[in-house]
Each structure stands twice: as structure tokens, then as C-alpha cells.
């Protein structure tokens, strides 16, 4: 909840331009996305949010891997315009420089790879993402096309979630990415469900909460119904609910701050 409130407060403040510079130690992808949005570049705002989700913030290395790739190792920033116009060029660059890229993938993305020959490699992920956005290469047109004029943030989120067929972005990747897009107000979306089907940590947390043990025999639809009822009392939203259930089940008796 504090993280969500912090994002809301930060959106209303001035943002130093260095926050959007991947060559600066001040670089922060969420602040950069907000800055891009203020400057009228929705494409770069959502693109950077996607990259930040793909690499994640590592507990020790922070955003180093994202910075190295996004900045082209200090030589060429891989903006949405650059990458979407020629994904093959990005693939070639990544293949040549993979061994020079530092940092590491975060815990949520620990099975990803920079290797060009990997089915889950970053190049393959980026190429499938460009295909998902569509031939017009416009995130705004993607959003307009998928949500079909809907004005319910929960339904809009669900439509984008179900439409997102991007390599290595399963249930967790899609939820994390779209939740941040909504939190940064890059699109009128908000999760109305914890998307427990296919989940691990949040599903265990929900079963522990309602059934007393992480392997309680309660199916995902029933758990979601109870979570919806609970949120009607707590009013915290499914983004905080999903995150807190996942973290809590790891250490139910002692709070441990998850740092990625």
C-alpha cells in the first residue's frame, strides 16, 4: 500500500531529467515512464515499463541489467522507435554484446536469458512484444483496439491481460507489467482479480488464508470470490492483495520485506 501511495505522490512532483537517462546513476524506470508520459511519449513510457518488468530490479544489482540494455551500453538508447522499426537490429546488437551486459534478472524473472539461441531470450521476448503491439507500432492504438471503448478499469485490464501473447510472459509477467501500467496511469486499467489460475505464491497465500494451509483443497474461483468479498471490506485493491498474499505465505509469522 505504501508503494502504491508513493507512486501517486511522485506523479505530482517535478522529475529530474536524469531519471530518464539510462547512463545516469539517477535512472529510475518508473520515474522515466512518468516523464515520458508528461512529454507526450506514451510509446516510450509503456515500452520502458515493459523492459523494466522483463529484467526486473535485482536485490543486489538494482536496475543495472535494464540500464545496460536500454542504453545500448552507453552508445545508443534503444527507444521504442528504434527497436520497433527494426527488431532484427536489436537482436544482432544483443548477440554481439550479451557477455558485456552486467547485472542480473530479478527473482520474478530468474528463468529468463540474454542468450540469442534461447526460446526465452530477450531478443525473442522483444520481437513477440512488438508483434503484440501490432503493425501500427502504437501503444495507444493497441489499447484502443483491445479495450474497445470500455470504461471499467477492471474489464480493460482483463482484456489486455487475455490479449497479451508475449514470449515468457505468463501469468506473473502479464500481471506485473499491466499492474504497473495502470499504477502509473499509462492506461485506464486496474486488476479486478488476483488471477490465481496458474499462480504459485498468491495461490498458496490465498489457500493459507482461507484454508489454514498452503495446499488446502480450495479451487481458484472460490478463493477469488472470497478475496473479492474481503476487498469489499478492506478496499486495498487486487494489486496490493495479490502482492501481499504472495509475500505473506513465504513467512506468515514474521514480516520479511521482499526486495526482488
How much is the pLDDT for 143? 97
**Residue 62 vs residues 28, 68, 69, 130, 210: alpha-carbon distances, Å:** 10, 12, 14, 26, 35
How much is the pLDDT for 81? 98
Would residue 122 count as lying in a domain?
Answer: yes
Residues 205 and 95 in one domain: no
Residues 82 and 178 in one domain: yes
Would residue 1 count as lying in a domain?
Answer: no
Would residue 95 count as lying in a domain?
Answer: yes
Residues 104 and 152 in one domain: yes
Would residue 188 count as lying in a domain?
Answer: no
CA 32/CA 15 separation, integer angstroms: 8
**Grid coordinates given for 5:** 501511495
Residues 175 and 57 in one domain: yes
Residues of the chain with pLDDT under 50: none
Would residue 196 count as lying in a domain?
Answer: no
Is there a contact between 121 and 105 (Cβ–Cβ < 8 Å)? no
How much is the pLDDT for 15? 92
Residues 50 and 177 in one domain: yes
Domain end (from 153, 183, 213): 183
How much is the pLDDT for 94? 97
Number of domains comprising the chain: 2
Domain span including residue 226: 201-250
How much is the pLDDT for 260? 60
How much is the pLDDT for 9? 81
Residues 46 and 128 in one domain: yes
CA 190/CA 202 separation, integer angstroms: 17
pTM: 0.94
Residue where the block lists cell 530479478: 106
Quick: pLDDT tens for 28-85. 999 999 999 999 999 999 999 999 999 999 999 999 999 999 999 999 999 999 999 9
How much is the pLDDT for 255? 87
Domain end (from 151, 183, 215): 183
Amino acid at each position: 500500500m505504501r508503494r502504491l501511495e508513493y507512486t501517486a505522490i511522485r506523479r505530482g512532483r517535478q522529475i529530474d531529467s536524469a531519471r530518464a537517462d539510462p547512463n545516469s546513476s539517477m535512472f529510475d524506470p518508473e520515474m522515466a515512464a512518468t516523464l515520458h508520459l508528461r512529454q507526450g511519449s506514451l510509446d516510450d513510457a509503456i515500452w520502458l515499463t515493459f523492459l523494466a518488468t522483463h529484467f526486473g530490479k535485482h536485490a543486489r544489482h538494482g536496475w543495472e541489467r535494464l540500464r545496460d540494455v536500454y542504453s545500448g551500453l552507453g552508445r545508443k538508447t534503444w527507444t521504442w522507435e528504434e527497436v520497433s522499426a527494426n527488431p532484427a537490429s536489436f537482436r544482432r546488437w544483443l548477440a554481439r554484446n550479451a557477455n558485456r551486459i552486467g547485472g542480473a534478472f530479478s527473482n520474478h524473472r530468474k528463468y529468463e536469458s540474454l542468450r540469442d539461441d534461447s526460446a526465452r531470450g530477450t531478443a525473442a521476448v522483444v520481437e513477440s512484444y512488438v508483434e503484440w503491439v501490432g503493425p501500427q507500432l502504437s501503444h495507444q492504438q493497441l489499447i484502443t483496439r483491445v479495450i474497445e471503448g470500455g470504461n471499467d478499469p477492471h474489464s480493460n485490464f482483463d482484456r489486455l491481460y487475455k490479449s497479451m501473447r508475449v514470449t515468457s510472459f505468463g501469468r506473473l509477467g502479464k500481471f506485473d507489467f499491466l499492474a504497473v501500467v495502470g499504477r502509473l496511469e499509462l492506461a485506464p486499467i486496474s486488476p479486478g482479480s488476483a488471477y490465481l489460475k496458474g499462480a504459485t505464491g498468491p495461490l498458496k497465500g490465498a489457500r493459507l488464508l482461507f484454508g489454514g494451509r498452503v495446499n488446502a483443497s480450495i479451487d481458484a474461483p472460490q478463493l477469488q470470490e472470497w478475496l473479492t468479498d474481503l476487498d469489499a471490506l478492506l478496499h486495498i485493491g487486487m494489486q496490493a492483495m495479490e502482492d501481499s498474499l504472495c509475500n505473506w505465505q513465504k513467512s506468515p509469522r514474521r514480516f520479511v520485506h521482499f526486495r526482488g
